[in-house]
Structure 1
């Protein structure tokens, strides 16, 4: 299986397991800058040079060699499951993607038909009941993850622990896992632990939120979207994420982690 979703600097200083909706655009651009002294011009997900990516055939050998030898610092980044799934909904379901089309072609029409979801019209800018539609989307997300229908689960709303585990199961080991919510502290700890060809001043790095502006603005505080039933669905889907990455399931309003991540526990529980 190898190391899907893994990016590495060309200088082989850092290995990063991408977790969608967890600052991956910013992290990728920082890695690119640390090697080349400049940002990639465009969405880093589209870059075919300047970074080693498992999705590119010629990167398999170098990534496999470095990960198995543990010769570069390996890290990833996580996010509160409540805000992550909400962000997925507004970006991927309600939003128009950077190619000017809806995400995954017929996905949104399917959701409108089968789950009664509204998305703000053709351009995603119309008024609609965000809370009702999001809760219906959660039912759909649960169906994809639990029963793989009406489709396979999508990487943007499948559990973080699932993404993170593939790296461990196939022979990798993380040196750091940090929180999107305390991004600068976590990313700085990674940078402090490696020698990069070009110095990175985090205070001067912009946030590369490639999904921003794709969809309608969130009209309510996070907690307004989650009633008892939707909290139950979220726990059913993301129980492992809450437990391993120390997020507060009881209070959707609290986006901050409530403890430190235990790397040994993560490796033990996700390495099965």
Structure 2
């Protein structure tokens, strides 16, 4: 199976297991900059050179060797599950993608037909009932994760623990896992522990939010989107994410972690 979703700098200074919707665009750009002294011109997910990726055939052997030998600092980044699933909805379901089309072609029309979701459109200013549509999307997301129908779960709303575990199960080990909510501190600790060809000043790095500006803005506070049923579904889907990564299930409006991540616990529980 190898190491899907894994990126490595060309200098092999660091290895990153991508977790979608957890600042992955900014992290990828920082890795690119640390080798080349410039940011990639475009979405870093589209880069086919300047950064080793498991999806690139020529990179796989290099990544596999570095991971097996633990030759580079290895890290990933996590995010509050409430905020992450909301971000997935507003970006991938309600938003228009960079190519000017809806995500995954017929996915949104299928959700409109099968789940009664309404996401508006740019012509009406994305005028729709955000709360009702999000809750229906959550039912769909649960169905994909629990029963793998009407489709396989998408990487943007499948559990963070699932992404992170594949790396461990296949022989990798993390040196650091940090929080999106304290991003500068987390990425600064990574950079402090590696030697890069080009120094990076984290305070000067812009945020590369590739989905921003292509869809509706969230109109309400986080807790307004989650009634009792929604929270039941969230716990069903993301129980391991809340527990392993120390997020507050009881208060959806508290985006901050409640404690530090225990790397030994993560490796023990996700390495089974």
TM-score, structure 2 as length reference? 0.99
Aligned to 1:236: 236
Aligned mates of 2:151, 2:198 — CA distance in 1 = 43
Aligned to 1:185: 185
2:7 equivalent to 1:3:
no
Q: CA RMSD in A?
A: 0.8
Aligned to 1:160: 160
Q: Over residues 145-188 of structure 1, what are the superposed CA-to-partner deviations in whole Å (9 max), with x where a residue is unaligned?
A: 00000100000000000000010000000000000000000000
Aligned to 2:138: 138
Aligned mates of 1:4, 1:224 — CA distance in 2 = 35
Please report how far the alpha carbon of residue 215 of structure 1 lies from its aligned counterpart in structure 2 after TM superposition: 1.4
Q: Over residues 197-242 of structure 1, what are the superposed CA-to-partner deviations in whole Å (9 max), with x where a residue is unaligned?
A: 0000001000001111121000001111011110110000000000
Q: Is the 8 A contact 2:122 2:215 kept in 1?
A: no
Aligned to 2:71: 71
Aligned mates of 1:221, 1:123 — CA distance in 2 = 25
**Structure 2 counterpart SS, 1:132:** helix
Aligned mates of 1:70, 1:24 — CA distance in 2 = 22
Aligned mates of 2:96, 2:149 — CA distance in 1 = 24
**Structure 1 counterpart SS, 2:117:** coil
Q: Is the 8 A contact 1:67 1:172 kept in 2?
A: yes
Aligned mates of 1:244, 1:130 — CA distance in 2 = 30
Q: Is the 8 A contact 1:124 1:216 kept in 2?
A: no
Aligned mates of 2:170, 2:195 — CA distance in 1 = 26
After the TM superposition, list the runs of 4 or more consecutive aligned residues in structure 1 that deviate by more than 4 angstroms.
none
Q: For 1:75-224, list aligned pairs within 5 A.
A: 75-121=75-121, 125-224=125-224
Aligned mates of 2:263, 2:124 — CA distance in 1 = 40
Distance 1:173 1:241, change over 3 A: same
Please report how far the alpha carbon of residue 124 of structure 1 lies from its aligned counterpart in structure 2 after TM superposition: 7.3
Q: Is the 8 A contact 1:75 1:174 kept in 2?
A: yes
Structure 1: runs of 5 or more not aligned: none
Distance 1:185 1:107, change over 3 A: same
Please report how far the alpha carbon of residue 123 of structure 1 lies from its aligned counterpart in structure 2 after TM superposition: 5.3
Q: Is the 8 A contact 1:96 1:124 kept in 2?
A: no
**Structure 2 counterpart SS, 1:197:** coil
**Structure 2 counterpart SS, 1:251:** coil
TM-score, structure 1 as length reference? 0.99
Aligned residues: 272
Q: Is the 8 A contact 1:124 1:215 kept in 2?
A: no
Aligned mates of 2:67, 2:181 — CA distance in 1 = 27
Aligned mates of 1:99, 1:123 — CA distance in 2 = 17
**Structure 2 counterpart SS, 1:183:** helix
Q: Is the 8 A contact 2:115 2:137 kept in 1?
A: yes
